[in-house]
Structure 1
Amino acid sequence: MVASIISQLPPESTRHSTVQVDEKSIDLSLTPTETESLTWIQRWRYVSPYMVTAIQSFMIQFISGLNDGNLGIILPSIKAHYGLSQYVVSIIFLCNALGYITAAILNGYLIKYFSQSKTALIGACSMIIGYLVNLFAVPFPIMCIFMMTIGFGIALTQAAANVVCGEMPYSMLMLSFLHAFYAGGALVGPLLASKLLSSQKTWNTSYMILCGLAGTNAISVFICYRKLRTDSEKELDAEKERVLQNHENSQQIQQQSQQQETNSSTTVTTAPVIEPDQESMTSKEDTHKNSNLLSQIFKYKITTIGSVFLCFYTGLEVTIGNWGYTFLINMRSTDTVAMAHLMTGYWSGICAGRLFLGFATSRFGEKRMVYCYLSTIVVMMILFWALPYVGANAMSLVITGCALGPIFPTMVSVAQRLVPNHLYATIVGFLSAFASAGTAIFPYASGILIGSEGVSSMLPFCIAVAATMLITWIFIPDPRPSSKFSAKVNSWMSQFGFWKRS
């Protein structure tokens, strides 16, 4: 399926300048008209070296989606098993959030001191530990602690998957497929959990399945990411090689100078002399470049504004996915299986949106299309709240899912074009990990609100979050203003210091 879609698209501009295919250099900055001569085989050979790491990244996202989709269905069973109130059971989401935020802070440092591949492996192993403990239905406080471990692992692996796919050719398409697999996992999660519960299985049975998948994922991460080097890591390797070469050249020049002084004490040598502090200055420059990563990435407004936007986005996405089922069985129908199928329709919409709306988003411009998506979400949430009919609610959920689908990969694609190469992995990793915190913070806040005001308060909360996203999107710069309107908005916002384009 990936190959068939790629065959219909021209190579988009990425961080890679050229690639050799059939002894012909393909310029990735060519326009669609100029790339019509490329054959399907040439385009497939162009992307095929990346497919192993792409498939592994898809697997990471699928398991992450399965985790989130499963939790929403088993939450009432966890509440009943431990005899908890709505307030207390919501602590699960808060603990997840702590894991995500910890990963957002540490991700850049882990990549710096280990590597992107080893950081992903650390995350995969953390997931195994968390699932292994929780499948034994341990006491609730212990369960919450290891929910942090699961959140930490998911955030690290998701960050790696976003970086890997963001650096591939056809990155917008690859990111759309990546996040479609998340939606696919979230689609399967409710079906799997409801099937297990309807078969009189306990809620922790689903964690047995997740633990097995996490183990498989850790092994495949080790194999598929073993030789992975991101663009920022390659750039750092090149700089280290340059410093080493300067050091060797300095030693050779000193040796030549000493030999000439020994052979002729009366002859004035004319050997080139390297500036004494050149090597130390280079080392200091490299040290400064790699130190205090957080202060460097926060110089770019896309980091702060983008992380807030994605935190709200994932919070809305998962709040609907987790608490939507609780809302439906309390406010619409007691048919638990049918209501689980409605939530499946929601995740199906997200999956479809990511698969089929990515091209339209690139074609008509990211800024314009995301405005349309967010406006649609607000309208559909209002209809979901106002119309007490299961059929109308099903339609609202599917359309909301379709509109939500392409927003995350679009944001990552926008960030890719606004940050320098050596900070790309750190910034996108931070965006992804911080966004994961939204999947816990907002469901937790929604749970507190439901506990105090009732389950009917969930939808006004979601409408407010969607409206806030719409406002926040105004402050995200357009990396390629394609209309006079976009250019005027960017110019006006720059005058007030909301962002710098470089």
Structure 2
Amino acid sequence: MEVELATIHPRSPHPPAEATAATESATFNNNKRSEYVETEAAAGSQSSHATQTTFPASTPTMRRKARLQFATLCWALFLAGWNDGTTGPLLPRIQAVYNIGFAVVSLNFVFNCIGFVTGAAANVWLTDRYGFGTVMVIGALAQVVGYTLEAPAPPFPVFVMGYAVNGFGLALQNAGANGYVASLKDNAATKMGILHAIYGAGALSSPLVATQFAQLSHWSFHYLVSLGIAISNVILLIAVFRFKNQETCLAEIGQTPSHESLTEGTDNNNSSKYTQMFKLRALHLMAFFILTYVGVEVTLGGWIVTYVIKLRGGGPSSGYISSGFFGGLTLGRVGLLWVNKKVGPRRAVFIYAILAIGLELVIWLVPSLIGGAVAVSFVGALLGPIYPIVMGHAGRVLPQWLLNACIGWIAGFGQAGSAFLPFLTGVLASRVGIKSLQPLLVSMMGLMIVLWALVPSASRRMD
């Protein structure tokens, strides 16, 4: 059943009691009860008169559609996790096939980041011009192109170009999915945690498959598996969101735009969204925090395999340690939801980061293969909840009319960390050895604590 918004009409002249009774009346069609609610909408910039919009309240059909939308976004994030979990187990094989060192192979991370930051910067313009549903499909198609370039193991410059195209597509989908879930009014924090747990599930699954392909002659055929998932993602996004904008999709599940999102945007006609965004101090602090966080996550998940092989005597199956890390990431994002609620999300980030530093010191200073592998999994569990907590916090402290654009920028700018820190690790490893990995990770986790302390805990109005 399609959700239809009734014609916008002027405020009722009846007394409030009568208006309330009227709006809460129920109609019965085909023995099905459909309640109606009435909300205020902002008038145009030329009119000061308030208007009201009547729309069906939540119905079984709407709830079904809401679950379908959320499941589709989870599948898109599963593919994002799958993509990020792929590189680590394949790095030693890529080095051997292309006969390149640590610094050069790290260009995979750099080009992925270039694509991601480009997508994040373009996301605001693309979404305003074409709408949420269309931009999500554009991002999914970019991933199809990226995996098509990577699957035949082309010359290395073409191979890394596939990473760039892939990063562009990931940025658009990451921004759209996070912004959409952050805009939900029904259990947004829990759904954000589940969304990123599904990301972790993808990152957990991928190394299990990539480790097997890394030992085969046709190692790059792993990207054919990724291509199949990417094609299914395109089909789902088209079928569920049908190229519609976000407001229409939310209306279909019974959620109207907030009063703030309707009014505030009209007050800033003389300045672009980019100008409004970059005035926000909280935006920049969260962006730098996520840059550090994502850098730590991707560096640990990507380089831990090489670290274990070189310094702990690990064998060809060491790629499974990367799966352990992302498995911990997945479990942490769901299993620690109750901790987030108990101690508060802001305090939880400090606790998780401090404990993760302690475990990193164990990996660094205790020369045990098994002990290190277990500690890596627990680090993943502690780092896991942090990303969804920050995205949920963005929904509380940033203006609603800029939320999608801001989240897209935070995710995109943060993705620079997924290139900078792994690349820095590669450069350091080529000079002093892979033993530089753990000191770098510990120092970056310490920086995370400092940055989070600077992020405001409550919303502030723009200047």
- Alignment TM class, shorter chain as reference: 0.7 to 0.9
Partner of 1:175: 192
Q: Match for 2:234 among 218, 223, 227? A: 218
Q: Distance in 1 between matches of 2:334 and 2:61?
A: 22
Which digits, 9 at most, give the CA deviation of each residue in 1:330-371, with x for residues without a partner? 11123221x222222211111010011123213321111111
Instruction: Say if 1:301 and 1:500, in contact at 8 Å, map to a contact too.
Output: no
Q: Could you state the TM-score of these two structures normalised by the residue count of structure 2? A: 0.81
Does 1:193 find its partner at 2:210? yes
Q: Distance in 2 between matches of 1:474 and 1:422?
A: 26
Q: Distance in 2 between matches of 1:438 and 1:49?
A: 35
Following superposition, the deviation at residue 449 of structure 1 comes to 1.3
Q: Distance in 1 between matches of 2:270 and 2:249?
A: 11
Q: Match for 1:54 among 61, 64, 70? A: 70
Q: Match for 2:201 among 167, 184, 192? A: 184
Q: Distance in 2 between matches of 1:63 and 1:196?
A: 18
Instruction: Say if 2:88 and 2:322, in contact at 8 Å, map to a contact too.
Output: no
Following superposition, the deviation at residue 233 of structure 1 comes to 9.5
Partner of 2:385: 406
CA spacing shift, 1:288–1:190, aligned 2, 3 Å: same
Partner of 1:75: 91
Q: Match for 1:99 among 111, 115, 135? A: 115
Q: Distance in 2 between matches of 1:111 and 1:217?
A: 19
Structure 1 gap ranges (5+): 1-17, 27-41, 244-281, 481-498
The list of structure 1 runs, each at least 4 consecutive aligned residues, that deviate by more than 3 angstroms after superposition, is 20-26, 42-49, 231-235, 285-291, 499-502
Share of identical aligned residues, percent?
27
Aligned pair count? Answer: 406
Paired residue secondary structure (1:441): helix
Q: Distance in 2 between matches of 1:22 and 1:375?
A: 52
Following superposition, the deviation at residue 394 of structure 1 comes to 2.2
Q: Distance in 2 between matches of 1:73 and 1:345?
A: 12
Paired AA for residue 216 in structure 1? S
Q: Distance in 2 between matches of 1:194 and 1:287?
A: 54
Instruction: Say if 2:131 and 2:243, in contact at 8 Å, map to a contact too.
Output: no
Q: Distance in 1 between matches of 2:434 and 2:232?
A: 38
Partner of 1:321: 301
Q: Distance in 1 between matches of 2:71 and 2:217?
A: 32
Partner of 1:311: 291
Paired AA for residue 313 in structure 1? Y
Paired AA for residue 232 in structure 2? T
Q: Distance in 2 between matches of 1:129 and 1:454?
A: 35
Paired residue secondary structure (1:417): helix
Q: Match for 1:297 among 277, 293, 305? A: 277
Does 1:388 find its partner at 2:339? no
Q: Distance in 1 between matches of 2:338 and 2:289?
A: 22
Partner of 1:347: 326
Following superposition, the deviation at residue 224 of structure 1 comes to 1.5
Following superposition, the deviation at residue 139 of structure 1 comes to 1.0
Instruction: Say if 1:58 and 1:178, in contact at 8 Å, map to a contact too.
Output: yes
Does 1:159 find its partner at 2:159? no
CA spacing shift, 1:191–1:142, aligned 2, 3 Å: same
Following superposition, the deviation at residue 419 of structure 1 comes to 1.8
Paired AA for residue 88 in structure 1? V
Q: Distance in 2 between matches of 1:414 and 1:212?
A: 34
Partner of 1:367: 346
Paired residue secondary structure (1:477): coil
Following superposition, the deviation at residue 118 of structure 1 comes to 1.0
RMSD: 3.0
Partner of 1:260: none
Following superposition, the deviation at residue 438 of structure 1 comes to 2.0
Instruction: Say if 2:115 and 2:168, in contact at 8 Å, map to a contact too.
Output: yes
Which digits, 9 at most, give the CA deviation of each residue in 1:439-483, with x for residues without a partner? 222211211111111011011111111010011000111239xxx
Which digits, 9 at most, give the CA deviation of each residue in 1:59-89, with x for residues without a partner? 1111111111111111111111111121111
Instruction: Say if 1:69 and 1:321, in contact at 8 Å, map to a contact too.
Output: yes
Segment drifting more, 358-367 vs 397-406: 358-367
Partner of 1:120: 136
Partner of 1:207: 223
CA spacing shift, 1:334–1:368, aligned 2, 3 Å: closer
Paired AA for residue 177 in structure 2? A
Q: Could you state the TM-score of these two structures normalised by the residue count of structure 1? A: 0.75
Following superposition, the deviation at residue 229 of structure 1 comes to 3.5
Partner of 1:31: none
Instruction: Say if 1:380 and 1:396, in contact at 8 Å, map to a contact too.
Output: yes
Which digits, 9 at most, give the CA deviation of each residue in 1:186-238, with x for residues without a partner? 1111110112233x242211111111111111111111122654359989x99
The correspondence of residues 258-269 of structure 1 with structure 2, limited to 5 A, is none
Which digits, 9 at most, give the CA deviation of each residue in 1:277-328, with x for residues without a partner? xxxxx9xx94953852221112222210011101111110110000001101
Paired residue secondary structure (1:204): helix
CA spacing shift, 1:102–1:365, aligned 2, 3 Å: same
Structure 2 gap ranges (5+): 1-23, 27-31, 38-57
Instruction: Say if 2:289 and 2:448, in contact at 8 Å, map to a contact too.
Output: yes
Instruction: Say if 2:294 and 2:415, in contact at 8 Å, map to a contact too.
Output: yes
Which digits, 9 at most, give the CA deviation of each residue in 1:95-129, with x for residues without a partner? 11111111121111111111111111111111111
Paired AA for residue 151 in structure 1? G
CA spacing shift, 1:155–1:335, aligned 2, 3 Å: same
